[in-house]
Structure 1
Amino acid sequence: MIQDNILITPELLHYLQSSKNDPNKGFVIKLDMNKTYDLQRETFGDLLGMKVVEKWDNYLGLPLPVFLAPKGVIEDIQAKISRTWWLGKEKGGFWTMLPWKTLCHPKGMGGLGIRDIQLLNLAFLGHQVWRFINNKDTLCFKVLSSKYFRDGDIFHPKRVEKASFTWSSIAAAAKAFKDGFGWQVGSGIRINIWIDNWGLEGLNGGVLNSNMLNPNECSVKDLWLGDCRSWNIGKVHELYGQDLGDKICNLLIGGEGQCDRTVWFHNPHVCFTSKSAYSWLLLKEMGLGPHRFFWKALWKLDTIPKVRVFTWRVGHDILPTNVKIASIQRGFGQGCPRCGAEYEPLVYALKDCPTSRATLSIGGWNETTISKDYKNCIDWLEDMMRVLDKRAMTNLMTTLWNCWNNSNSFIFRGKKEEAQVIWDRASTLSQDFHICNLMNELLLSPNLAVKKWEQPPRVFVKINFDATGVITELVME
């Protein structure tokens, strides 16, 4: 109720301020937001442990789920998050080594799982679209549909030159999620097979062999065997092909009296959720990139967080080697500071530099694992992950981390260490971390699982029953 009032009020103000309306035109409407809130104030206060105060604190603005956040606001938020990650403080210049979009990728795809504020805002707004689909008796739906989509279809609104901020926000979410929604077959009458998404993702008029279909046949019901509520298998295969036709024929048809309804395809329970909506938007934008095996495996390494973050940076080739710095700073030397080689790319600094090579050799890494030439570090490390177990891979990354620290120590402090010293430090760190983890693992977990009855998801039915075993028969209670 409160959210409806928040959405309706800007719409009504927009109507009054429109130049198309007569200056003397007005309307009367009662928005009972204050009383509605008062009715629930005690209940919410008790549940959330909040107190009611007379004087409010600073106003923080409306939440993201209600309106589409302005582009400038989103950019400011993302800039602050980026500054915190790359610099660690509010002021000062910093080097953005990776695009913001890359940081927002899931960890299993090379990112850090940071939420993309723009996509998150759209995912929250998608709830308004879902409410309009399923709650057509609300005042908010009646007000907006009477002006923007009189046929009740939020995905095909009419064009309005100067729409209100309320409708512009909801329309943006409807446009973003249009392909994610579709029809679940009930009566089969309302679903237009020429234009609608239905049954499963990707099933629409674009995959239909229109040459084999009568123009008068436009509903899903026309694909049935008369009124038998079963698929005409031959006709379906003729129109959609063998593979897609088999999937269509496996779709369930609702019972008698069940209407067609709009569902969200990307949730097992066909209900819209912000989590599934955000994941769908993100995957739709980024696609599936290479080296997924490496990105998933690196976060499973049993080591300190610094080594895992170091591994992530190695995978993206964003450690500040001389070659990397020279790519953004004109006149900077590209040679290796430790051995004097002409070029120092990352794979050379960690694997091919004599100091690093000697350290790896002491650790037992033979020539077959470190002698092969690689252009990028991520290719080498992914090959190592395919032949090493988790413990060995963890030891390798800990050793490489210490090799990198040794290079920095030589550059900034002038301190040069022998390969044996580097290896001993890496070995000690790995052993200490492993021993610490063994000491923290309890033989018996003190947390006993408490099982209780849970309400089943929507459109599911849960049946509870007990069984008693008897010598001669099985009795159901």
Structure 2
Amino acid sequence: MALPTYTMVCFLLPKTVCKQIMAIMSDFWWRSRKDSRGMHWKSWESLCKPKECGGLGFKDLEALNLALLGKQMWRMLTNKNSLLTRVFKSRYFKKSDPLSAPLGSRPSYAWRSIHAAQKLVQQGARVIIGSGKDTKVWSERWIGSKPAMMVTSMRRHERGRQLDVSEDMRVSELLCGNGSEWNAELVRDMFTEEVKSKILAIRPAGRNSMDTYSWEYTKTGHYTVKSAYWVQTNIIEGVEEKQAMIQPSLDVIYQQVWNLETSPKIKHFLWRCLNNALPVAENMVHRHIGKNKECCRCDGVAESVNHLLFQCNFARLVWAEANVHIPPAGKWSDSLFSNLHWILNLKKSIQWRLWKKV
């Protein structure tokens, strides 16, 4: 990962390159010999899910690339006097900021790459109002959160006259006194009820404070690649919602597996059990490798992961000799997940030994 990461900090890798790199990583993970590609029991997308959601926590390179590029855009927002910011501002956003700047005509590949992360940064960036002098009312994201949004005016006549509102109006013009309080009457006249309530809930820092940007997905307010990657995969791409629809009840079991006080080898084996990623006879026939899916010890019964570990005659004998209590129903369930949930806190290594004895 070290080689592409350095490049991904500055440039947007083509999707084909990302897919080729991820294919190499997937081959390396599944193969058992150098001259073999190995059997890919789960897709790369499945491996990239968090461990508590059934994956292994590998990184999706396209999402990681955007999170790294978002760091460059964040630097432009928070360090406006840096050489990087001044160079790009003079060319691409003379009268705006990186969050609202268009791609422009004939952009450099560097700007095209950073601009690709604009949607991601918009999702979590919010202006923290200080004096309000540097923040435009209509074109910057300074109210609400996750994501912060721009405001729209409620232009109407007040006492027989129409409010004169400038497009370049600053937030400081909505403040009164020493800049730490809102002009409530003006805010009510200019904005809808929904926007008004959000504005009045903000506490300005005062005239002597600078307007700054805060990242909504960390406690410190600082942008991190880790939090941005989470935003890209779980909110923008919606992986979290999709996963909840597919496996709403297995998260507890996955967390239990990864929190076990046992060797990483056994944890990985249990993960493969839960994901049906073992070369048992039933799975091999399903992949058109072999024709007989029956258990070699039990006549006429298909060899599934659950059968091999719990319902096979040999497995039953092993569990009995290990003095493991049978589930309350009096027999092992037809559900692998129920059996694993019952047994995880009792004997972690017996399942591994059963597999090695097959």
* SS in structure 1 at match of 2:181: coil
Residue pair 1:105, 1:282 contacting (<8 A) in 2 also: no
For 1:271, give the aligned amino acid: H
CA offsets, 1:52-105, max 9 Å, x none? xxxxxxx99963312222333323322222122111444323221111122222
Residue pair 1:183, 1:191 contacting (<8 A) in 2 also: no
* SS in structure 2 at match of 1:262: strand
Offset at residue 402 of structure 1 (A): 1.7
Indicate which of 208, 215, 227 corresponds to 1:257: 208
Residue pair 1:185, 1:199 contacting (<8 A) in 2 also: no
* SS in structure 1 at match of 2:349: helix
* SS in structure 1 at match of 2:80: coil
Offset at residue 299 of structure 1 (A): 1.6
Offset at residue 269 of structure 1 (A): 1.5
Indicate which of 198, 210, 213 corresponds to 2:143: 198
Indicate which of 36, 39, 42 corresponds to 1:98: 42
Q: Which residue in 2 is equivalent to 1:132?
A: 76
* SS in structure 1 at match of 2:319: helix
Offset at residue 359 of structure 1 (A): 2.2
Q: How many residues align?
A: 332
For 2:229, give the aligned amino acid: Y
Q: Which residue in 2 is equivalent to 1:338?
A: 297
The within-5 A match list for 1:104-143 is 104-143=48-87
Offset at residue 224 of structure 1 (A): 7.1
Q: Which residue in 2 is equivalent to 1:353?
A: 312
Residue pair 1:97, 1:318 contacting (<8 A) in 2 also: yes
For 2:224, give the aligned amino acid: T
Offset at residue 136 of structure 1 (A): 2.5
Q: Which has the higher contact order (CA 8 A, sep 6+)?
A: 2
RMSD over aligned Cα, in angstroms? 3.6
Question: Which whole-Å CA distance do the structure 2 matches of 1:229 and 1:84 have between them?
Answer: 60
CA offsets, 1:192-228, max 9 Å, x none? 47873634223436xx8x8x94466898679878976
Question: Which whole-Å CA distance do the structure 1 matches of 2:252 and 2:86 have between them?
Answer: 50
Question: Which whole-Å CA distance do the structure 2 matches of 1:240 and 1:396 have between them?
Answer: 58
Q: Which residue in 2 is equivalent to 1:85?
A: 29
Q: Which residue in 1 is equivalent to 2:12?
A: 68
Question: Which whole-Å CA distance do the structure 1 matches of 2:138 and 2:345 have between them?
Answer: 54
Q: 1:222 to 1:380 in 2, by over 3 A?
A: farther
Question: Which whole-Å CA distance do the structure 2 matches of 1:126 and 1:301 have between them?
Answer: 36
* SS in structure 2 at match of 1:263: strand
Residue pair 1:106, 1:113 contacting (<8 A) in 2 also: yes
Q: 1:372 to 1:352 in 2, by over 3 A?
A: closer
Question: Which whole-Å CA distance do the structure 1 matches of 2:145 and 2:84 have between them?
Answer: 30
* SS in structure 2 at match of 1:175: helix
Offset at residue 313 of structure 1 (A): 0.7
Q: Which residue in 2 is equivalent to 1:239?
A: 194
The yes-or-no answer on 1:282 pairing with 2:226 is no
TM-score (norm 1): 0.60
Residue pair 1:347, 1:374 contacting (<8 A) in 2 also: yes
- Structure with greater Cα Rg: 1
Offset at residue 133 of structure 1 (A): 0.9
Identity %: 26
CA offsets, 1:273-326, max 9 Å, x none? 223222332333421543221222212212222211111111111112222122
The yes-or-no answer on 1:299 pairing with 2:251 is no
The yes-or-no answer on 1:176 pairing with 2:120 is yes
Residue pair 2:258, 2:267 contacting (<8 A) in 1 also: yes
For 2:181, give the aligned amino acid: R
Q: Which residue in 2 is equivalent to 1:328?
A: 287
CA offsets, 1:425-463, max 9 Å, x none? xxxxxxxxxxxxxxxxxxxxxxxxxxxxxxxxxxxxxxx
Question: Which whole-Å CA distance do the structure 1 matches of 2:96 and 2:327 have between them?
Answer: 69
TM-score (norm 2): 0.77
Question: Which whole-Å CA distance do the structure 1 matches of 2:182 and 2:227 have between them?
Answer: 31
Q: Which residue in 2 is equivalent to 1:319?
A: 278
Question: Which whole-Å CA distance do the structure 1 matches of 2:88 and 2:180 have between them?
Answer: 39
Stretches of structure 2 that go unaligned for 5 or more consecutive residues are 157-162
Q: Which residue in 2 is equivalent to 1:26?
A: none
Q: 1:141 to 1:219 in 2, by over 3 A?
A: closer
The yes-or-no answer on 1:229 pairing with 2:181 is yes
